[in-house]
Structure 1
Amino acid sequence: MAHRTRTHDVPARPQSQARSPDGPRPSGRQVAVRALLALVLLYLFLVAVGVLEDGIAQMGEGFGDAVLAGVSHPLSGLFAGVLATILVQSSSVTTSTIVGLVATGVVPVETAVPMVMGANIGTTVTNTIVTMVSMRRRDEFRQVVAAATMHDLFNFLAVLVLLPLELLTGFLSSAARWLAGVVADTGITGVETTSPLAMATDPANAAVETVLSALVPAGAGLGTVMLVLGVAALYVTIRYLSKNMRAVIAGPLQEKANRSVGRAGGLVGIAVGTVAAILVVSSSIVTVTLLPLVAAGALTVRNAYPITLGANLGTTLTALLAALATGQPEGLVIALVHVLFNVTAVTLIYPLPRIRYLPVRLAEGLGALAARRRWVVPVYTGGVFVALPVVAVAAG
């Protein structure tokens, strides 16, 4: 007699235990814990960025003013703005220094305008340095290099278009002087702004610097130690931050975030970046925070692009408010040059479909090359942000 094989009905897997392509779907409680951990890691990531920037500033302390004061040619002024911003790790500090040099007659407004453009470029170097912590993860490295360098490349394109126009016509400085007169006649005054994010992270950064100062002499030695510590902390935080964010923002939520930012041809993303930069009083903090989001896949490079442009716009408002608060006419002119440069760049480049994504395409190409040849990013960073500005300033 043939043996009948008995079959058993396999109960359906409960929905809560359904597996995603990457493994078991996390429960609501697990997502909440991961979200909280992601926030803690994001805070530590921003502290690490601050330590990195403070280390670079320690190494370049005292050189920023000298770099700017020794320039007499507009093209040298552009690279002096880049170099000074890298040395002090703040475009706001560079702009304030430029204002003082213009007010005392050391630097004419016509030379100061390219300096402001250079400061806009120099503030992007932190993003590019942060990408190096992802070198061992090829796909992630390709994405974060593209997300970081599209900011550089947009600013390069803006300078390439607007600097020759300014040198030929003086339209930025002329428009800034006219607007400064209009604003002065209205009696509008500004305020000194404080970043709530800086208030949260500065105590931790100060504590790190205090501890290290007791062990290492101030200056280049302390700066080097802080730089190394900052990079090490970034390596750990960005790795685990991106891992946790992949678990928190996945599937429909990830698609919704990208769809929302990309609405109205990216105008929503520009608005998000503008508001974020105004709230945290820093464009570099906004753009560097995009890197772990891109690394985690929460944002595509193309959807991070308009947020970056918005951050460029938002940071000009805080400088303008500070200039209004000082009451110095020269300071107001320089701050308005900063505003006009960024607004004009976005207005000229972003609406044109043929060139809108040119910086992104170039950045994606650079990211793909860096994924194959990892030495490309250190060479790019050292060449564009250090060697070229040093040679240009020395020649000028």
Structure 2
Amino acid sequence: LISKIASFLTGIFIRVGGIQIINPLKLVTGPVINFFRFVCFHNSFVILIFALIMLFSSLRFITQLMRGLAATSAEKKLNGYIFNNPIKAFLTGTSITAIIQSSSVATSFMIPLVGAGIVKVEKNFPYTLGTNIGTTITAILASLATTNPFAITIALCHLIFNILGICIFYPLRWIPIGLAKEFAKKVVVSKKYVIIYLLFTFYFIPLALLFLWR
């Protein structure tokens, strides 16, 4: 079904043309990354260790900063203007992801906010769904620029797949939200559940589905 819809839309957009978008995130982080590569003597292992230290230090600092914002008007502004409406939250997630071209980064923005209690998990859910749409925009524009029908079809399949997923899970949002909350409680008790989650979600389940559908 997805491939048929994508193929039909490809015939419509094949001659539209597209644009190449400059990633603003890479423009900012590129010089910094090159600097640390030079400092670490281009040693991949040293760079990895340093990057992990920077990552967790940054997350800790951001979380502390966000907790401080909870006592200010920032909480009221976020909940009053962006997260007071699911459509606004959805469009915000889509827009931010389309601009920075990374759904992971756009989603990571919200982790400290949710962790600090500024934004509720339920209100953040539409935002997260929006990031799944925003992440397809860059691929679609790039595929249109190539005028390659196969590239356009794959990009549209990605978009349609995400749209169908939203149509299924948003009405049933209590299921993923409830599972996330219960799993978070277990992770607080023991970090081993994180490893179990990663293995099952990204390895065992996909491999099992591939085995069943081959």
Q: Tell me which interval the TM-score lies in, with the shorter structure as reference length.
A: 0.7 to 0.9
Which whole-Å CA distance do the structure 2 matches of 1:263 and 1:342 have between them? 23
Question: In structure 1, what is the equivalent of residue 201 of structure 2?
Answer: 384
Question: In structure 2, what is the equivalent of residue 372 of structure 1?
Answer: 189
Evaluate the alpha carbon distance shift between residue 303 and residue 227 of structure 1 in structure 2; reply closer, same or farther with a 3 A threshold.
farther
Kindly name which structure, 1 or 2, has the bigger radius of gyration based on alpha carbons. Answer: 1
Which whole-Å CA distance do the structure 1 matches of 2:192 and 2:147 have between them? 47
1:361 aligns with 2:191: no
Which whole-Å CA distance do the structure 1 matches of 2:120 and 2:191 have between them? 22
Evaluate the alpha carbon distance shift between residue 207 and residue 392 of structure 1 in structure 2; reply closer, same or farther with a 3 A threshold.
farther
Question: In structure 2, what is the equivalent of residue 261 of structure 1?
Answer: 82
Task: Name whichever of 253-262 and 322-331 sits farther off.
Answer: 253-262
Which whole-Å CA distance do the structure 2 matches of 1:207 and 1:378 have between them? 33
Q: Which amino acid aligns with 1:327?
A: T
1:334 to 148, 154, 177: 154
Evaluate the alpha carbon distance shift between residue 313 and residue 215 of structure 1 in structure 2; reply closer, same or farther with a 3 A threshold.
closer
- Following superposition, the deviation at residue 322 of structure 1 comes to 0.3
Superimposed CA distance per residue, residues 156-177 of structure 1 (whole angstroms, 9 cap, x where no aligned partner): xxxxxxxxxxxxxxx1000110
After TM superposition, the structure 1 = structure 2 runs for residues 1-396 of structure 1, keeping only pairs within 5 Å, are: 171-184=1-14, 187-212=15-40, 214=41, 216=43, 222=44, 224-264=45-85, 266-350=86-170, 352=171, 355-386=172-203
Q: Which amino acid aligns with 1:231?
A: L
Task: Answer whether contact 1:370 1:376 (CA < 8 A) is retained.
Answer: yes
Task: Answer whether contact 1:193 1:281 (CA < 8 A) is retained.
Answer: no
Task: Answer whether contact 2:103 2:134 (CA < 8 A) is retained.
Answer: yes
Task: Answer whether contact 1:250 1:298 (CA < 8 A) is retained.
Answer: no
Evaluate the alpha carbon distance shift between residue 369 and residue 385 of structure 1 in structure 2; reply closer, same or farther with a 3 A threshold.
same
- Following superposition, the deviation at residue 325 of structure 1 comes to 0.7
Normalised by the size of structure 1, how large is the TM-score?
0.50
Which whole-Å CA distance do the structure 2 matches of 1:260 and 1:199 have between them? 29
- Following superposition, the deviation at residue 359 of structure 1 comes to 1.0
Q: Which amino acid aligns with 1:244?
A: L
Task: Answer whether contact 1:176 1:333 (CA < 8 A) is retained.
Answer: yes
Task: Answer whether contact 2:96 2:131 (CA < 8 A) is retained.
Answer: yes
Q: Which amino acid aligns with 2:105?
A: I
Q: Which amino acid aligns with 1:230?
A: A
Evaluate the alpha carbon distance shift between residue 337 and residue 390 of structure 1 in structure 2; reply closer, same or farther with a 3 A threshold.
closer
Evaluate the alpha carbon distance shift between residue 290 and residue 379 of structure 1 in structure 2; reply closer, same or farther with a 3 A threshold.
same
Which whole-Å CA distance do the structure 2 matches of 1:333 and 1:383 have between them? 30
Normalised by the size of structure 2, how large is the TM-score?
0.88
Question: In structure 2, what is the equivalent of residue 82 of structure 1?
Answer: none
Q: Which stretches of structure 1, 4 residues or longer, exceed 6 Å deviation after superposition?
A: 390-396
Q: Which amino acid aligns with 1:372?
A: V
Which whole-Å CA distance do the structure 1 matches of 2:37 and 2:182 have between them? 38
Which whole-Å CA distance do the structure 2 matches of 1:374 and 1:288 have between them? 20
Q: Which amino acid aligns with 1:307?
A: Y
Q: Which amino acid aligns with 1:204?
A: V
What SS does the corresponding residue of 1:263 show, helix, strand or coil?
coil
Task: Name whichever of 369-378 and 267-276 sits farther off.
Answer: 369-378
Task: Answer whether contact 2:84 2:123 (CA < 8 A) is retained.
Answer: no
- Following superposition, the deviation at residue 292 of structure 1 comes to 2.0
Which whole-Å CA distance do the structure 1 matches of 2:202 and 2:168 have between them? 25
Count how many residue pairs are aligned between Structure 1 and Structure 2: 213
Superimposed CA distance per residue, residues 316-369 of structure 1 (whole angstroms, 9 cap, x where no aligned partner): 11110000011111000001101111122213332x2xx123111111111011
Task: Answer whether contact 2:98 2:134 (CA < 8 A) is retained.
Answer: yes
Q: Which amino acid aligns with 1:245?
A: M
Which whole-Å CA distance do the structure 2 matches of 1:245 and 1:369 have between them? 24
